[in-house]
Structure 1
Amino acid sequence: MLSLEFIRANPDAVRRAGELKGEAAPVDEILRLDGVWRGHQHRAETIREEQNKLSKKFAETRDDSLKERLREMASTAKTELSVADAVKRELDDLLLRVPNVFHESVPVGETEAENVVIREWGTKPDLGFVPRTHFDLGEALGVMDFERAARVSGSRFAFLIAEGARLERALVQFMLDVHTREHGYVEVWSPMLVSSAAMVGTANLPKFADQAFKVEDRDLWLIPTAEVPVTNLHREEILDGERLPLKYVSYAPSWRTEAGAAGKDTRGFIRMHQFSKVELVKVTTVETSLDEFEQLTRDAEDILQRLGLHYNVLAMCTGDMGFAQYKKYDLNAWAPGLDRYLEVSSCSVFNDFQARRANIRYRPSRGAPPKFAHTINGSGLALPRTIDAIMETYQRSDGMITVPDVLKPYMGGVELIGAR
């Protein structure tokens, strides 16, 4: 959330950010309501000042004629404050609907075609034969089953079976081990159901309500990513600045409705209603957030490099970066069978946009006034598309799949998926 003070001081910058992000930014209505709200507050305060003076006069004179005037003033002040409170609630709701501004280094553009490749790692593998897709391989090997999942749950679900399930578990354990033992993150096992307040804190609500699954008749939502509970771990807290950055890693199943994705990636293990991720979250100081963002991105890239997957890093343009993001990179792994890149991680820095919503602050030094923290998150990595890229990259001409070396210790002796 942008502060009201920031919008007052920088209305043109906020309007421009909304236009370039393709998001509605109700700046004019906010400024109008701000004036109305402050007007009612000022009138209430003016009346109270006069009321205080009149009360002192009454105390001195005991003039009963002043009583009725004092009662009228008290009633008017109460009405003005009541109206001010109602206007402020409307104002606060509008503030939640204003997109974040963006960093000056973000490319300006309207669509994904204007995202910028800032680096690549490795090269597209030449397998020496026509590669098959992960879903062809998975179904042929009996490690993926989409048809039975559709009978159980509908579209955009999958069963992972035998070595398929073992591969996901191996990836989770491998990634958690690297991030905790080598990258310095603290592991978190979080709630999978969160309140509306927590969803507001990470800017999933109110804008993206249609993207999440809600529990009927309860103020609980299935998490769309572990970013939500882990970022909110320190909501309503003032942290010791000397402890920052806080670095967390969390494996969690996640759920999304995929509203607006009709017809996209309907085949395969790509765009699912239920999927798993290993999520990286940081809470930082104002001064260090951009450096910590770059390091978090490198931590996610390290996993891809150890897995031996060719990938690129995209700097997302203004029109494709998202409502809440201040700056965003996407990591895209190459899938030879699909003959395209698959997004396996989005890494974002939010400046204080989420922290203001969740009221996460820190005290820079003893006795110093608290500041809003900066938050960062990114997948390290998302499981479905990472599995897809592994299966398609490490497939053999006989249809079996070689297990990447770094995963072999986690696969219980399995080195070749499909060997019987």
Structure 2
Amino acid sequence: MHDIKAIRDNPAAFDSGLARRGLEPVASQLLKIDAERRDHVQKLQDAQARRNAASKEIGEAMKTGDKARAEALKAEMGSIKDFIASGEAIERDIDQRLTAALAVIPNIPLDDVPDGKDETGNVEVRRWGVPPVYNYEPRQHFDIGEWLGLMDFEAAAKIAGARFVILKGQLARLERAVAQFMLDHQTGVNGYTEHYVPYMVNDAAMYGTGQLPKFAEDLFRTTDGRWLIPTAEVSLTNLVRESILEEKDLPLRLTAYTPCFRAEAGAAGRDTRGMIRQHQFSKVELVSITTPEQSREELERMTGAAESVLQALKLPYRVMRLCTGDMGFGSRMTYDLEVWLPGQNAYREISSCSVCGDFQARRMDARFKPADGKGTRYVHTLNGSGLAVGRTMVAILENYQNADGSVTIPEALRPYMGGAEQITRG
């Protein structure tokens, strides 16, 4: 959510930020509603002041026996009361219109975010690792999994439809191993605190992190009106909703392993085979709650925490700074980690780490009390994948595949796999 006062103070800067995202200027429309609201509020305040004054005047008229004056003032009081009652309803309506208009406007990118229309404008920051070389045509993960007899898309389709998978045996265990390793790594090495959180949330939680109202079609809703989380970011970030934290307690670093549910409404025809883009998948999410002064440094730290998992698994990747046309709705700056997939001969996204500034905090009313004790300020929020479990499995299957169809288990995961070194066809 944007600060209408900041827009009022510098509308040109606000429209300029939206232009970098390829959007039309809206400051004038917003300020028109804001001016209507402020004008109406002033009228209400004037009416309330007149009501208070008239009340005193009635008392004085009664004391002096001026009944005609008292009756006239009472009539005036009645009309003022009616105006205030209707005026408060009008004020709520104007507030709702302004909030609704602000709620669908994306965050403003930071100055050092590269400009661009789409993913072609993203900028590579660094690479790690060397993609493996094979003396045969490397297979994609779904061919490997199906050949092993441990990945079944047809059975999943019979049960749930397209974009689901059933993993069996050692691949099912590998999914569990990857998640457990990530949690242990993020808590033990990178200092995040593990949480178990709800997988279903209410409207306010989805609104707080920016999924509602704009992206309702990308979500799944239950029959009682709750929403299945698209990422644990929703549950974790909303832990500070309607809270006032102490500066000394920041930053908070939170993590959770959860299933994630996405309708993928805008992904028709994309990655229809395999585990890259599914309606249900698992992820270890990272969330940080910081002061404004800490948030940029925290973005680098969070990105490093996500990278450290790929390094521990020895999976080649690159870090991309997303351009203005490819960033998410609530982000001010985003780094994508793209892991190398030999079967696709391409780097594919496996994590996004974003700093949102106070964009989500305003929607959640999440604040902190500065150490000097002067007032309160909005916190800054960050979120990132640490990592997507399914896509990590995809990367492991493709990067650790062998000519005979088996898959070598990364050393870091072997303690979680009962010491096994390979996954072979049963």
* TM-score interval for Structure 1 and Structure 2 normalised by the shorter chain: over 0.9
Which residue does 1:172 correspond to in 2? 179
Instruction: Answer yes or no: is the 8 Å Cα contact 1:24–1:98 preserved in 2.
Output: no
Which residue does 2:365 correspond to in 1? 359
Could you list the per-position Cα deviations for residues 96-134 of structure 1 after superposition, in whole angstroms to 9, with x for gaps in the alignment?
112111111100000101100010001221122211111
Which whole-Å CA distance do the structure 2 matches of 1:131 and 1:83 have between them? 65
Instruction: Answer yes or no: is the 8 Å Cα contact 2:148–2:425 preserved in 1.
Output: no
Could you list the per-position Cα deviations for residues 337-368 of structure 1 after superposition, in whole angstroms to 9, with x for gaps in the alignment?
11111211000000000111111111112632
When the two structures are superposed, what TM-score results if normalisation uses the length of structure 1? 0.97
SS in structure 2 of the partner of residue 64 of structure 1: helix
Of the three residues 90, 102, 109, the one matched with 2:97 is 90
Which whole-Å CA distance do the structure 2 matches of 1:312 and 1:330 have between them? 8
Which whole-Å CA distance do the structure 2 matches of 1:127 and 1:135 have between them? 18
Which whole-Å CA distance do the structure 1 matches of 2:229 and 2:53 have between them? 55
Displacement of 1:223 after TM fit?
Answer: 0.3
Which whole-Å CA distance do the structure 2 matches of 1:253 and 1:223 have between them? 8
Which residue does 1:198 correspond to in 2? 205
For structure 1, which runs of at least 5 residues remain unmatched after alignment? Answer: none
SS in structure 1 of the partner of residue 220 of structure 2: coil
Which whole-Å CA distance do the structure 2 matches of 1:338 and 1:379 have between them? 22
SS in structure 1 of the partner of residue 325 of structure 2: helix
SS in structure 1 of the partner of residue 221 of structure 2: coil
SS in structure 2 of the partner of residue 239 of structure 1: strand
1:214 aligns with 2:221: yes
SS in structure 2 of the partner of residue 191 of structure 1: coil
For structure 2, which runs of at least 5 residues remain unmatched after alignment? Answer: 63-69
Deviates further, 4-13 or 227-236? 4-13
Of the three residues 110, 122, 130, the one matched with 1:115 is 122
Identity of aligned residues (%): 46
Displacement of 1:405 after TM fit?
Answer: 0.6
Displacement of 1:221 after TM fit?
Answer: 0.3
Displacement of 1:201 after TM fit?
Answer: 0.5
Which whole-Å CA distance do the structure 2 matches of 1:44 and 1:309 have between them? 63
Which whole-Å CA distance do the structure 2 matches of 1:336 and 1:210 have between them? 33
Q: Matches of residues 1-400 of structure 1 in structure 2 within 5 Å?
A: 1-23=1-23, 26-62=26-62, 63-216=70-223, 218-365=224-371, 367-400=373-406
Instruction: Answer yes or no: is the 8 Å Cα contact 2:147–2:425 preserved in 1.
Output: no
Which whole-Å CA distance do the structure 2 matches of 1:95 and 1:206 have between them? 11
Displacement of 1:95 after TM fit?
Answer: 1.4
Could you list the per-position Cα deviations for residues 154-210 of structure 1 after superposition, in whole angstroms to 9, with x for gaps in the alignment?
110001111111111111111111111111110001000000100000001011111
Instruction: Answer yes or no: is the 8 Å Cα contact 1:26–1:94 preserved in 2.
Output: no
Displacement of 1:25 after TM fit?
Answer: 6.2
Partner AA of 2:184 in structure 1:
D
Which whole-Å CA distance do the structure 2 matches of 1:156 and 1:219 have between them? 24
Could you list the per-position Cα deviations for residues 307-362 of structure 1 after superposition, in whole angstroms to 9, with x for gaps in the alignment?
11110000000000121101001000000011111211000000000111111111
Displacement of 1:23 after TM fit?
Answer: 4.6
Could you list the per-position Cα deviations for residues 243-292 of structure 1 after superposition, in whole angstroms to 9, with x for gaps in the alignment?
10000111000000000110000011110000000001100011000001
Instruction: Answer yes or no: is the 8 Å Cα contact 1:44–1:78 preserved in 2.
Output: no
